[in-house]
Structure 1
Amino acid sequence: MSYEQFAYLYDELMLDAPYDGWVQFVKDILAKYNHRGTPRLLDLACGTGELSVRFAKEGYLVTGVDLSEDMLAVAQAKAEDKGVRIPFFQQNMADLDGQGRFDVIGIFCDSLNYLLTEEEVTSTFATVLDHLDEDGIFIFDVHSIFKMTQGFINQTFALNEEEVSYIWNSFPGDHPNSVEHELSFFVLDEQTKKYDRFDEVHFQRTYPIEQYSNWLESAGFKVLEVAADFEHSSPLAHSERIFFVAKKK
């Protein structure tokens, strides 16, 4: 599968994602904690650059990092098409190197849930700390345990459009509070008028709120707030997306 095809499918999958909600959440946090000036923002696991571009259009000085070279190629093309300048780098978010210091580092769109071991999560927190300015803020969101166990596992989702359709099945993963997503895409070939099939498998894992908070504290952060579902209020039993806001101690 070419990166154009994969990015097209990814953006179709994320078509209804509340990107503006992530942007507004970050703006609210920076205002709440009296951040002044032009924020230098590192967008970790930036994917096809949808949020990177939006932050850049807000005036932020954005750097994007992702593990996928193909995703980064699409992100760069998207940034050029939107008329914003964003440096993109191919790196593992658990092992950043040479990126300098930032006012804000974000891991959005539950990207942290793709790390399958505790060691990867704690290594990511450590490397984020190293790349934050002294007053820098770390923001990330993850799926709640409720979302993993009640919203995904043994569920089927589907999209049926003329040019692209998909079937998305979710099954219990090998680890506690983890899920395996099996996706089959059917994409119309304009020349042959037949549908090509592409299959993807994704794994995600989450942890209790207390565990994330403990890891942040151990890494050298002070947890400023834990919120849910793009609101600045404490998580409830049925909250689906948990936001963490932390600062260097």
Structure 2
Amino acid sequence: MSEIYQQFAEVYRRGSYPEFSKWVFNLLPSLLEKYALPRSGKLLDLACGEGTFLEGMLLNGWQVTGLDQSSNMLRFAEARLKNTGKSFRLIQDDMRNLSFENEFDLVTCWFDSLNYLLELADLENTFRRVFRALKPTGGFLFDMNTLYGLFVRWQQHPVYISQETDDLLEIHIPSCDYEKSEASLRIILFVRDDQKNQWNRWEEIHTQRAYPMDIIQSALEKAGFQVLARLGNLTEQSPALPSSGRVWFIAQKPA
């Protein structure tokens, strides 16, 4: 995990990826209301990236803390959040090292960031630490790629262009290891440097593990959470199915 989102951080910020965070932010209020979760207070966003989701929450009155391993992502997040004129906290660390206790009303982790935990023990440990970080009745919301998502949807094309502009070309090459329940995405970047009048090439490999939905739910319950919902379509708020490419979990720390 520590070697990704280096050069890709700039491409991520400039591309369409932040639109996912905006979409989730717009849908969040209805979820919090439906499942009677806190609608104000202190938020911890794990794998916060370049800060689009944090910005929305900050402007809507939340006290926000963002955590990410990538120094480049946090640099972009800091610049974005400073423009709000409000106070915030950013932490560079691994989510597996969380050490907060009874501090947050809401913890979120978006865009399949938890799939980067390749060992079940790490996923369980992270859930325990999130549980400890939440206040009683606090909510934990996250999404993960499913088995179908990684082994069917990711593998639809052997190679494809993800983004192409006058100064950027992003190519994705997926692969998978069924025995390990892992899928990898080789990301090749060509970025134009106008000052040097040249193109630079970078490459990152992003590996994720898919966990059966029942295993994820069991790990949450083992940590102490009550699972309120697992959704396959966030817009329609419909239940997750075996053919869902992504699953959205909504969990709560009991009172």
Structure 2 Cα separation of the partners of residues 73 and 122 of structure 1: 29
Tell me which of 235, 239, 246 is aligned to 1:234. 239
**After TM superposition, what 4+ stretches of structure 1 lie above 6 angstroms from structure 2?**
none
Tell me which of 157, 162, 165 is aligned to 2:160. 157
Partner in structure 2 of residue 186 of structure 1: 190
Instruction: Summarize deviations over 1:13-50 as a string: whole Å, max 9, x none.
Output: 54374223311332122212334562311101111112
TM-score, normalising length from structure 1? 0.91
Partner in structure 1 of residue 252 of structure 2: 247
RMSD of aligned Cα (Å): 2.2
Range with bigger deviation, 175-184 or 100-109:
175-184
Equivalences, count: 248
TM-score, normalising length from structure 2? 0.89
The Cα shift of 1:70 comes to 2.5
Q: Is the 8 A contact 2:140 2:250 kept in 1?
A: yes
Q: Is the 8 A contact 1:182 1:202 kept in 2?
A: yes
Name the SS of the counterpart of 2:151 in structure 1.
Answer: helix
The Cα shift of 1:220 comes to 0.6
Distance verdict in 2 for CA 1:175–1:193, change over 3 Å? farther
The share of aligned pairs that are identical, in percent, is 30
Distance verdict in 2 for CA 1:36–1:118, change over 3 Å? closer
Structure 2 Cα separation of the partners of residues 124 and 13 of structure 1: 29
Q: Is the 8 A contact 1:154 1:169 kept in 2?
A: no
Structure 2 Cα separation of the partners of residues 37 and 149 of structure 1: 36
Pairs within 5 Å for 1:1-249 = 6-15=8-17, 17-35=19-37, 38-98=40-100, 101-153=103-155, 155=157, 156-158=159-161, 159-173=163-177, 175-230=179-234, 231-249=236-254
Structure 2 Cα separation of the partners of residues 120 and 201 of structure 1: 20
Range with bigger deviation, 123-132 or 29-38:
29-38
Range with bigger deviation, 120-129 or 186-195:
186-195
Structure 1 Cα separation of the partners of residues 50 and 123 of structure 2: 22
Structure 2 Cα separation of the partners of residues 147 and 110 of structure 1: 11
Q: Is the 8 A contact 1:129 1:219 kept in 2?
A: yes
- AA aligned opposite 2:247: I
Name the SS of the counterpart of 1:94 in structure 2.
Answer: helix
Range with bigger deviation, 224-233 or 123-132:
224-233
